[in-house]
Structure 1
Amino acid sequence: MQVLMRPWGAMHYRIDGPDDGPTVVFGNSLGTDLRLWEAVLPLLPGIRAVRYDKRGHGLSDTGGAASIADLAEDAAALVEMVGGGPVVFVGLSIGGMIGQALADARPDLLHALVLSNTAARMGSAETWNARIAAVRAGGVASIAAPVMERWFAPGFRATPALHLWRNMLTRSDADGYVAGCGAISAADLTERTATLRLPTLVLAGESDGSSPPDLVRATADLIPGAAFHVIPGAGHLPCVETPSEWAALVAPFLQEHAR
């Protein structure tokens, strides 16, 4: 286990793959930790994969309230720490929002961007405030059932694997989860994302209840030349639910842009 000290506390990260491979940094979704990417890493051979737990998640310290810009600063500090020159940033959901903000603030750090199941603006303040209130009243477990419905298609929800992801969510730090909700609620990256000019791959899940395909497509349309794909049968976490299909789209993009 490796730690990067930030002004707010300790940020946990992990590096896998060859030291001389192109560096790819992975940003997780709300309510998950760096294990989110376990199923796809073997399908992306040759890369130097850097995964991390954003503040308030996994083994990282909570860190208090933060904006998407703050979370992008954490990501920038990690990229500078691990070295390897400009990297490809792969972000899912809030991780994709972090990627957009990072690409805008520090374009010198990125070769390219993969945005999975995310958007420049996700949800309304009313929706996020309601979720924050529910978590404060009843803990993260109180929202687990509807979150699982938004995360996964019905077929996956019928498998034993669902219990593992439900457990990951419910064991999340409530303060860290609330801080993540607040960051998403306050963020509208539309204008900044429309200025991005780096190679970008945008992915959506056909059955995603958190960031539906039309929402994701609208963000892809903001970035000139961005490639957009919908993964059939996938929900909000296709790297978990349909890892082969997700990796089949990402691997060629990395081969072209990671070095």
Structure 2
Amino acid sequence: MASTFVEVDGCVLHVREDGPKNGPVLLFSNSLGTDLRIWDAVVDALSDRWRCIRMDKRGHGLSALGSAPVTLERYAADALGVMDALGVDRAVMVGVSIGGLIAQATYAARPDAFAGLMLCDTAAKIGAADLWQQRIDMVRTDGLEAMADTVLQRWFAPAFHRDRAVDLGGYRQMLTRTPAEGYAAACAALRDADYTAKAAAIAVPCVVICGAEDGATTPEVVSAFAATVPTARYVELPDVGHLPSIEAPDTVVSHLKALLKEVNHG
């Protein structure tokens, strides 16, 4: 299939569908400073059987930013709006980093629409408010180029930096080409979000994945989060950083297929 655009509450969002139209739906949500292409290898392995729907959250990729403020609840409403526009009433949602928080918020808003969740390198609350405000101020003053090297150190394991220099350069371009205001808006949403109480109410099967070399949401943070979700199974991936869909897509697919089998979703 191909990219399309969906308007939700006056904001134009970039969406891509792959796989059979009548297949069981997987809905993917991206991390801060990335676009829907981070799921390419995962979708390639699943789109023979599942209807894979990816979207650039507002202010990222080809999606518009829309009006301020942007909150986790706004991102969740966007995801549900895309589902409604595409005629989807039930899905398994997969999110990484802020995308994992968006998945939690989307589930909280409409729990009956989800058979299961895969939450990668995320938590119910990520980082301290003052640190997010510092990042907002920095990106607005100096741009993403000034922080790119630091962010990439957190994103990828040492082996990726050593062995995949060309890929590293490509993902650096993805990060630095993210609109500054879209990035800042997502930072503000992270600054203000705390889903600790709602995480304890997740009632569908949930796989929580973390890269052992994640420098952004560390295994200590992610495993502690998983322990608060009654239905969660925690998986730690060796030699993987913050974006397992890029560094270990086959492993992500394997755990996702196990979840899909468990919840009888295709």
Partner of 1:80: 84
Aligned partner of 2:54 among 51, 65, 73: 51
1:12 to 6, 11, 14: 14
Q: Is the 8 A contact 1:111 1:198 kept in 2?
A: yes
- Distance of 1:6 and 1:76 partners within structure 2: 9
How far is the alpha carbon of 1:35 from its aligned partner? 0.4
Out of 37-46 and 86-95, give the one that drifted further: 37-46
Q: Residue 61 of structure 1 aligns with which residue? A: 64
Question: TM-score, length-normalised on structure 1?
Answer: 0.97
* In 1: Cα distance, 2:14 partner to 2:55 partner: 6
Describe the SS at the equivalent of 2:228: coil
Q: Deviations over 1:54-94 (max 9, x none)?
A: 10001010124311011111111112222243100101111
- Confirm or deny: 8 A CA contact 1:201 1:226 kept in the other structure: yes
Distance 2:29 2:231 in 1: 23
For 2:247, give the aligned amino acid: E
List runs of 5+ in structure 2 lacking aligned partners: none
User: How many pairs align?
Assistant: 259
Q: Contact 1:4–1:11 (CA<8 Å) still a contact in 2?
A: yes
Counterpart among 239, 242, 249 of residue 248 in structure 2: 242
- 2:114 alignment partner in structure 1: 110
TM-score normalised according to structure 2 size? 0.94
Q: Identity of counterpart residues, as a percentage?
A: 41
Aligned 8 A contact 2:202 2:231 in 1: no
Superposition CA RMSD, Å = 1.2
Q: Aligned partners of 1:48, 1:256: CA distance in 2, in Å?
A: 18
238-247 or 143-152, larger mean C-alpha shift: 238-247
- How far apart, in 2, do the equivalents of 1:83 and 1:198 lie? 22
Is this contact kept in 2: 1:13–1:51, CA < 8 A? Answer: yes
Instruction: Please report how far the alpha carbon of residue 149 of structure 1 lies from its aligned counterpart in structure 2 after TM superposition.
Output: 0.3
For structure 1, list consecutive stretches of 5 or more residues without a partner in the other structure: none
Q: Distance in 2 between matches of 1:80 and 1:215?
A: 33
